[in-house]
Chains A and B, each alone.
Chain A
Amino acid sequence: MRLFLEPGLGSSFSELLGRCEPGLLPRFAVEGAEGAAHPAGPPPGADAPHGTTILALQYRDGVVIAGDRQATEGYQVAHRRIEKVYKADDHSAIAIAGAAGPCLEMAKLYQTELAHYEKLEGVVLSLEGKANKLAQMIRMNLPAALQGLVVIPIFVGYDLRGDGGKIFKYDVTGGRYEEIDFYATGSGGKDARATLKRIFRPGFDEAEALRAAAEALVDAAEEDVGTAGPDFVRGIFPTVKLVRRDGIADVPDARVREVCQQVVEARRRAA
């Protein structure tokens, strides 16, 4: 513990890891193989690395953030129940698309990072500060991203000091861009975006926002082989969280099931 008493350690957890336990830093790049496709990378011809769809949209009380539950490995389903949407702290959440291992590790590091700062400084990071910190972590992953292990998150938060819910998207270099209404990314991101573009209206209430999220995810699952739709047989449904002034609420599976049921029902009638 003597090590942790040294001055100049700062309030960043990833910096602390770098100084005290560098082996624990999530570094996935293989040295000497720069630019080469990672052996576990995508099969030739598949342009999105790892099947997944995540999205976020604004609504009256804040932001809805959601993701499907499937992970793919090449043309195989690797996992049916993976979680891609995480609570980052009391007023922000992160959804991650890309290589599963680095994604999970980054989510865990990010959660620790925010709590670590809050405990050391006695105040929560500003939403701007949280968004920037995530950008730095994505930049750290750039060497691995060039080898095929891409991590692309969507970050959403409720700005208690400013004007409500916000959505941030990122690129592999850590570029950070704010989206006003909605965003979706991952292998089915384009399809989800097309759906949201068609049905999104500012000032959606909660039910309308959940319906829009479900519509977008079902469309993504229809068009993209990497994305799974609602699975009524196994009882697997997308993860949906609401980020509001009073904190983060998980939308219970039963409610998501109901909304998905309505979407599928409506399509059956229209067919």
Chain B
Amino acid sequence: MPIPYYVSPEQMMQDKAEYARKGIAKGRSIIALEYAEGVVLVAENPSASLNKISEIYDTIAFAGAGQYNEFENLRKAGIRYADLKGYAYGREDVTAKSLANAYSQTIGTIFSQELKPLEVEILVAEVGEAGQPSEMYRIQFDGSIIDERGSAAIGGQAEELKQFLRDKYEPALSLEGALKLARRALEAAASQKAKAQHLEVAVLERGRPGRKFRRITPDELNALLGSGEGDR
């Protein structure tokens, strides 16, 4: 009979955390910024069809960094959670806070109980309506949850991006201004040019009736980032 070897809980958690961090670091980063009319999410994503940013509910968006299959599953779970809650109660009872908490619980449980932790970091953003502030929650691989204001970043270079945005971000930017800032941040963190066709951009627009989520099309993005400049 093989002797079960002993690993201290500290060691085990450390190993898992390191494993997850490594996995996430391989992926590219995502930025969310509050701007004058809502929240804009910008991801570096060379694929045009596999999304990193998507809609969860009327006012709530989701972004995932790390392993695609893992955050894709979390995205679907979030939509199921939100639609079920909105159907059972009311549409305005679905909030980013409760969704972020549910994610945090789930990811935290998987981190402590399963052999392999999730190699993902996710962001839940909600645009505030009629004078309410917007909310952004960053949920890490171990289930820890961070409440962000103004700007948020997830993924391998989250810390560098956060550092950059801390100095440069200002509230009530125009969409154009916010997009340019996001691109500069991504370029600074990766120290290479961010091509416009490799950016995935979506907004939660306060002024839209009903579902606030809208993807920015490549043409629109080129126009916003300045033609010619965007095609480098």
Task: Tell me which residues across on chain A come within 8 A of B51, comparing CB atoms.
Answer: 122
Beta-carbon contact of A4 and B88 below 8 Å: no
Q: Measured between C-beta atoms, what is the minimum distance from B92 to chain A in Å?
A: 15
State which size class the interface on A falls in: 10 to 19
Q: Does B105 contact A (CB under 8 A)?
A: yes
Q: Which B residues touch A1, using CB under 8 A? A: 77-78, 81, 102-103, 105-106
Q: Is the CB of A17 closer than 8 A to any CB of chain B?
A: yes
Interface of B: prevailing SS? helix
Q: What A residues does B74 contact at CB under 8 A?
A: 5
Q: Which residues of A contact B80 (CB under 8 A)?
A: 4, 9, 16, 20
Query: Provided the pairs A4-B80, A5-B77, A16-B80 are in contact, do residues A24 and B55 lie with their beta carbons within 8 angstroms?
Result: no
> For A119, what are the chain B residues with a Cβ–Cβ distance below 8 Å?
54-56, 79, 83
B84 within 8 A of A: yes
The A interface is mostly helix, strand or loop, or mixed, namely: helix
- Say whether A13 faces chain B, with CB atoms less than 8 Å apart: yes
The proximity string for B residues 95-136 relative to A, scoring 1 for CB distances below 8 Å and 0 otherwise, is 000000011011001000000000000000000000000000
- A234: CB under 8 A from chain B? no
Residues in A whose Cβ lies below 8 Å from that of B79: 116, 119-120
Task: Point out the residue from B54, B86, B102, B109 that lies within 8 Å of A112, measured CB to CB.
Answer: B86
A2-B106, A21-B84, A109-B87 known, 10 other contacts, Cβ within 8 Å: A1-B81, A1-B103, A4-B77, A4-B78, A9-B76, A20-B80, A21-B88, A24-B84, A24-B87, A122-B54
Interface residues, chain B, with chain A CB atoms under 8 Å away: 51, 54-56, 73-74, 76-81, 83-84, 86-88, 102-103, 105-106, 109, 211
